[in-house]
Amino acid sequence: MATHPEMISGIPADKLIVHLRSDGVSVVVDASAGVPWIRHWGRDLGDITPASVADALVAPVAAGSLDAVAPLTVVPCHGDGFVGPPGIEVHRGDGSGWAPRFTTTRVARPDDNAVVTTSVDEVASLELTTTVFLDRHGAVSVIADLTNTGPDDLWVVALEMALPVATDAAEIVSFGGRWSNEYQADRRRWPPGTSVVETRLGRTSHESPPLVMVGTAGFGEWTGEVWMAHLAWSGNHRIAAVRLADGRRYLTGGDLLHPGEVVLAAGESLTTPPLIGSFSARGVGEASRRYHRIVRSMSHRVANPRPRPVLLNTWEAVYFDHDATRLRALADRAAAVGVERFVLDDGWFGARRDDQAGLGDWTVSPDAHPDGLGPLIDHVRGLGMSFGIWVEPEMVNEDSDLYRAHPDWTLETLGYPSVHGRGQLVLDLGRPEAFDHVLGQLDTLLADHEIEYVKWDHNRPLVQGSGADLRAGTRRQTLALYALVDELRRRHPSVEFESCSSGGGRVDLGILLRTERVWASDCNDALDRQRIQRGTSLLLPPEVMGCHIGPPTAHTTGRTHPLCFRAATAFFGHLGIEWNLLDCTDDELAQVASVVALHKTHRVLLHGGDVVRFDPADDAGLAGGVYSPDRREALVSYARVNSGASLTAAPLRLPGLIPDAVYRVEHVPFPGETWGMAISHPSWPATGIDLTGAQLAGHGLQLPVLLPERAFVFHLQVQ
């Protein structure tokens, strides 16, 4: 029995069900249900008749239910009889219009990989436009646009999109964490009901990043079907995995709105951030790499293909002590070890001699830099390095000229005591005069100095933040942030930007549309960083993930590691140094220089290859690296993260290489590297070994005995 009519609202049936295909992925979109319905998202179905998918998947109507099974549309509607969490929640001032039900009026194909559907509800006076797009990398994106076509205000409670997954997806992985311990994976059986990850902190957050993945039982890095969903948004969000009682399962996401935050006047619209889904029939790695390809194809990265420069950040070297002689000496040592960019962190502006003053005054402090920044910038550039600077434009200290002049420009709720964080208040960038003030100061800073890089920080959550209209202002703040960075980029197209938010508190594809890098974590402890970077690498390629060699003793944990482990950990990202090189011995400086040189040798592979991770045989080790796109070269790291149950690690197997190719495998030693106690170690690290790709995937490679908190790196090249 066919489930698709010959025509709806004058739209021919062959336009109502559309098959999108790209890079081994099929998405079948059915627009006959009022709001588009993704009938299939997963394996490539080949050259099919799209309507046959709908015919094959007619749902039975079980006893004790409604007379028809409501479709799981890309914006699920309670008014259709859908039994799961609705994707649209709205109402008028009198409470009406709360359960809309749409009819399809238009289906457009702007290109072969997109479907744009317009749906209306004449009773509730709403128009909903949805876009389903399957890009050339095989990632699917859904965006919804809701317009109030009625004469009075429409209160929007939620507008979220949904992506269905196969009913045999049995396990779920979500991510949590905290400051200095981001992107920690939590894997479990997919329980009935709704598993929610959300944040109301005004930023992507350390605790609840908007990324979730599900898969078939036992899925791994190289095996099983995997579906991932990410909301490309830098503010409050809600992302969930839903398992209905009838067996249907789906992933959903949208920006989380505070009460009354979005009220649409007549004719006004609300557009969601994109929910981006990635599917793989061959494990997590392939799904993850689809996100990496999205990041790498963003226009500002394509337009600037230069190698990512090794940088030194001054924060853990000098903190607020901006002595000119000391900074010049630090720059001298940075240049001597091969650093290519010198980034001056917090403390250069206003009254900023500690963390309780100065935010909001983005002018050079005559106390910290009596001769201005010019002499330091000239010194840095004279050493062959570019110059970068730290700012935190979304915040303000009460001890600042800006706050004293405009105390009403803060994002807080009148009548209540101010909620402080790190001695800071939030500056309301949704207020035009505050936006213009910050834009003017930063524009002048960049126009007057040879600054090529801006580290943009955001160091506290946004809570109880009301705008000038007394309504919640978090969403407006996020949009203002985007507009501010976009305008600065337009005025200063050669300047690069880094997203930092107390480390990894703002890591998402929304902010990466307008930045070259994110600071993955304030933690430079190499042991913690191993898991932080592994989790972050599911979404981000190495070249945008800031990874620094910190001092021997990490200031966030007090743990001490040798340079070999710190360097091998930071090596697999955008390498930086956050260590006071003035405290280093000549031998340590030589070792750092050798690491920087080694990184530059492998930088093209590291920053252009495919990220791979390997499923550990136990919880004692973490292994991963990069393969070249043609699979003729690879760089792999195995890190021993604890003592483990066994004295020796199992042979490490490397799937995904060219089976009949012969690889030369050679150890890549790091300065001061030592192994664990053993009567004997494998001989190949000293001599190298030739193995086929089939051997490396089949029996693998035995590594030496390693002490806990040590890493072993090796290189593979086809002969």
501 in the same domain as 632: no
Would you state the pLDDT for residue 1? 29
pLDDT of the residue at 472: 97
> Which one of 602, 637, 653 terminates a domain?
602
pLDDT in tens, 446-461: 999 999 999 999 999 9
Query: At 590, is the secondary structure helix, strand, or coil?
Result: helix
347 Rama class: left (phi>0) / alpha (psi -120 to 50) / beta: left
Q: DSSP for 650-715?
A: PPBP-TTS-TT-EEEEEEE--TT------S---SHHHH-EEEEHHHHHHT-BPPPP--SSEEEEEE
Q: Verify that 351 and 281 share a domain, yes or no.
A: no
Whether the pLDDT of residue 127 is over 70: the answer is yes
Q: What is the mean pLDDT of the chain?
A: 96
Q: How far apart are CA 6 and CA 295, in angstroms?
A: 41
Domain boundary among 278, 297, 316: 297
How do residues 387-435 score in pLDDT, each as one tens digit? 999 999 999 999 999 999 999 999 999 999 999 999 999 999 999 999 9
Phi, psi dihedral angles at 328 (to 5 degrees): -65, -40
**Identified catalytic residue from 522, 525, 528, 610:** 522
| Same domain, yes or no: 494 and 355 | yes
For residue 688, the one-letter residue type is G
Q: Which among 457, 508, 525, 528 is annotated as catalytic?
A: 457
Closest CA to 613 of 511, 542, 708, 695: 542
pLDDT at 13 (0 to 100): 67
If pLDDT is split at 50, 70 and 90, which confidence band does 646 have? confident
Asked, for residue 61, whether it belongs to a domain, the answer is: no
Q: Is residue 302 part of a domain?
A: no
Q: Are residues 667 and 687 in the same domain?
A: yes
Check whether residue 446 and residue 554 sit in a common domain. yes
- What is the rounded average pLDDT of the residues 462-491? 97
Provide mean pLDDT across the span 460-487. 96
Query: In this structure, are 190 and 269 located in the same domain?
Result: yes
Q: For 411-422, how does the pLDDT look when each residue is reduced to its tens digit (9 = 90+)?
A: 999 999 999 999
Q: What's the alpha-carbon Rg for the chain, to the nearest Å?
A: 27
Residue 27 pLDDT exceeds 70: yes
Let me know if residue 568 belongs to a domain.
yes
CATH of the domain at 699: 2.60.40.1180
Domain co-membership, 623 together with 598: no
User: Measured between alpha carbons, how far is 399 from 537 in angstroms, rounded to an integer?
Assistant: 39
Answer whether residue 682 is part of any domain.
yes
Residue 346 is a catalytic residue: no
Distance CA(342)–CA(638), nearest Å, equals 30
Residues 260-268 have a mean pLDDT of 98
Annotated active-site residue 522? The verdict is yes
Q: Supply the CATH number for residue 357's domain.
A: 3.20.20.70
pLDDT in tens, 152-165: 999 999 999 999 99
Instruction: Return d(Cα 568, Cα 591) in angstroms, integer.
Output: 12
| 360, 285: one domain | no
pLDDT at 65: 86
Tell me whether strands 249-255 and 262-264 are parallel, antiparallel or unpaired: unpaired
CA 713 remoteness from chain centre: 26
Listed residue (531, 578, 522) closest to 552, CA to CA: 578
- Burial group, residue 209, by CB count within 10 angstroms (0-12, 13-18, 19+): buried
Contact 676, 646 (CB under 8 A): no
Round to whole Å and give the CA distance between 178 and 206.
5
Does residue 650 form part of some domain?
Answer: yes
Q: How far apart are CA 303 and CA 309, in angstroms?
A: 16
Question: Which residue would you say has higher pLDDT here, 425 or 1?
Answer: 425
The model's confidence at residue 678, banded by pLDDT at 50, 70 and 90, is: confident
Q: What is the pLDDT of residue 4?
A: 42
Last residue of a domain, which of 269, 297, 325? 297
Domain count, the chain: 3
Please say whether the dihedral angle defined by the alpha carbons of residues 365, 369, 375 and 378, taken in this order, is positive or negative. negative
| Residue in 256, 180, 204 with CA at minimum distance from that of residue 458 | 204
- Which amino acid, one-letter code, is at 518? V
The answer to whether the CB of 199 falls within 8 A of the CB of 235 is no
Helix runs in 388-491, H state only: 401-405, 432-448, 474-491
- What was the pLDDT predicted at 425? 98
Distances (CA, A) of 681 to 265, 470, 704, 706, 707: 72, 68, 5, 10, 13
What is residue 626's three-state secondary structure? Answer: strand
Residue 344 lies in a domain: yes
The angle at the Cα of 509, spanning 508 to 510, to the nearest 5 degrees, equals 90
Domain enclosing residue 656, as ranges: 612-718
226's tokens: 């995997």
Same structural domain for residues 116 and 243? Answer: yes
Residue 432's contacts (CB-CB under 8 Å, 6 or more residues apart) are: none
Q: Say yes or no: 282 and 246 in one domain.
A: yes
Q: What is the CATH number of the domain that holds 87?
A: 2.70.98.60
pLDDT per residue over 172-211, tens digit each? Answer: 999 999 999 999 999 999 999 999 999 999 999 999 999 9
Do residues 347 and 322 lie in contact, with contact meaning Cβ atoms separated by under 8 Å?
Answer: yes
Whether residue 420 sits in one domain with residue 368: yes
Give Cα separations from 160 to 77, 144, 185, 257, 646 (angstroms). Answer: 10, 8, 24, 11, 47
Instruction: Please tell me whether residues 534 and 678 are part of one structural domain.
Output: no
Q: For residues 262 and 144, what is the distance between their CA atoms, to the nearest angstrom?
A: 15
- 431 in a structural domain: yes
546 within domain boundaries:
yes
pLDDT at 2 > cutoff 80: no
* Rounded Cα distance, 551 and 561, in Å: 9
- Could you tell me how far CA 45 lies from the centroid of its own chain? 30
The pLDDT of residue 559 = 97
Query: Rounded to whole angstroms, how far apart are CA atoms 671 and 571?
Result: 13
What is the structure's pLDDT at 9? 60
Of all residues in the chain, what percent carry a pLDDT higher than 90?
Answer: 93
